[in-house]
Every structure is written in C-alpha cells, then in structure tokens.
Structure 1
Amino acid sequence: MTAPNELRLLPWSEPEGKPCYLNTDDKGGYMSRLADNIEAVQLGTAAELLEHALDTLDDQDAGPEDLRRLAKELTRALRDVLRVATSRGRLLAASDPHRP
C-alpha cells in the first residue's frame, strides 16, 4: 500500500470539500496529465488575477464592492496555489533519493 505522503494531492476536491488524491507511479497517465493541466491553468489564473489586483488597488474609483469581489477571487486563487504548492512539495519529497 502507498503511504499517504506518496499520494498526489489533486488540484480539486470532492463535493464535500475533502481533498482528492491519486495513487499512481505513471506520471504520464491520463489523470496525472489532467492534474498537471489544471494546475497550470490555476497558476496562470492566479498570475492574471495578481495583475488585476494591482490595477484595482491603484484605481481610485474602485468601491467597496469591487474590493470585496477582488478579495474573494484572490482567496480562491490563493487556495488553489497553496494546493498546487503542497502537491508539488509532496511529489518532490517522495522522489528525493536522500529521504529517510
């Protein structure tokens, strides 16, 4: 059985919000490629949102509703980026030949 720290954390959750994991050594398999693609989209969206946030914060006409919407979008993007970072960190740790 694969240890929990060797499972890949996927970039989506179950409907109840629980994390989803992938148990495979096939980095080129369909689910691994799908997860890679979704992670790339999430990171790209976060980068675009960061630029939008900078523009919004510089906009003197941005009102409270604009800032609230921006905060919600940034919160979602940060959650996605943290999930990607956690997943990739686990993958790196699992592939480290010096790991005890």
Structure 2
Amino acid sequence: MTTPNELRLLPWSGPGDKPCYLSTDDPDGYMSRLADDIEAAQLGTARELLEEASEALDNEDTSHDEMRCLVRELTGALRDIFRVATSRGRRQPTSDPRESAY
C-alpha cells in the first residue's frame, strides 16, 4: 500500500475542494508533467499579481472596489501557492540532521 508521503499532492482540487493526489513512480509521466506545468502557471500568476498589488498600493487613485478584487485574486493565488509548497515539501527527501556536514 502507498503511504501518504509517497503520493503527490496535485495543484488542483477535486469536488468539494478536496485534495487530489497522484501515485506514480514516474516523475516524467504525463500526469506529473501536467502537474509541473500547472504549478509553473500558478507561480507565474502569483508573480504577476504581486507586481499588480505593489502598483495598486503605490497608486493613491486605486479604488476600494479595485483593491477588493485584487485581494480576492491574491487570496486564490496564495491558496494555489500554498498547495504547491505543500506538495513540493512532501516530495523533498528527508535526511537526518545529524548527517549534515559542517
């Protein structure tokens, strides 16, 4: 049986906003590549929104409605990036801290 640490958390959710996982030994398989591509797109979107947010904060003419819309988009991007970080963190090889070289 596959343990949860062997499953890859995918960068999208399923029905009811439940997490989706991939069980594969092939990091170059179709689903792994698709997940990598979607993660890259999500990171790019977050980068663009961060730039947009910085500009909006510097612009005194930014309306309350524009800021509200931007916060909504940032919240979605942050949710996506958190999922990417969680997935990548689970896939990091674990090591014994006593084995680190000084």
TM-score between the two structures when normalised by the length of structure 2? 0.90
CA distance in structure 1 between the partners assigned to 2:6 and 2:58 by the alignment? 43
**One-letter code of the match for 1:22?**
L
Cα deviation, residue 62, structure 1? 0.7
**Root-mean-square deviation over aligned CA pairs:** 1.4
Pair 1:8-2:18 in alignment: no
Residue 96 (structure 1) aligned to one of 79, 94, 97: 94
CA distance in structure 2 between the partners assigned to 1:66 and 1:97 by the alignment? 46
**One-letter code of the match for 1:85?**
A
Structure 2 regions of 5+ residues with no counterpart? 97-102
- Structure-2 residue corresponding to 1:57: 57
CA distance in structure 1 between the partners assigned to 2:95 and 2:7 by the alignment? 17
Matched position secondary structure for 2:11: strand
Give the number of aligned pairs. 97
1:1-100, aligned counterparts within 5 Å?
1-92=1-92, 95-96=93-94, 98=96
- Structure 1: which 4+ aligned runs deviate by more than 2 Å? 95-98
TM-score between the two structures when normalised by the length of structure 1? 0.92
Percent of pairs identical after alignment? 65
CA distance in structure 1 between the partners assigned to 2:94 and 2:62 by the alignment? 47
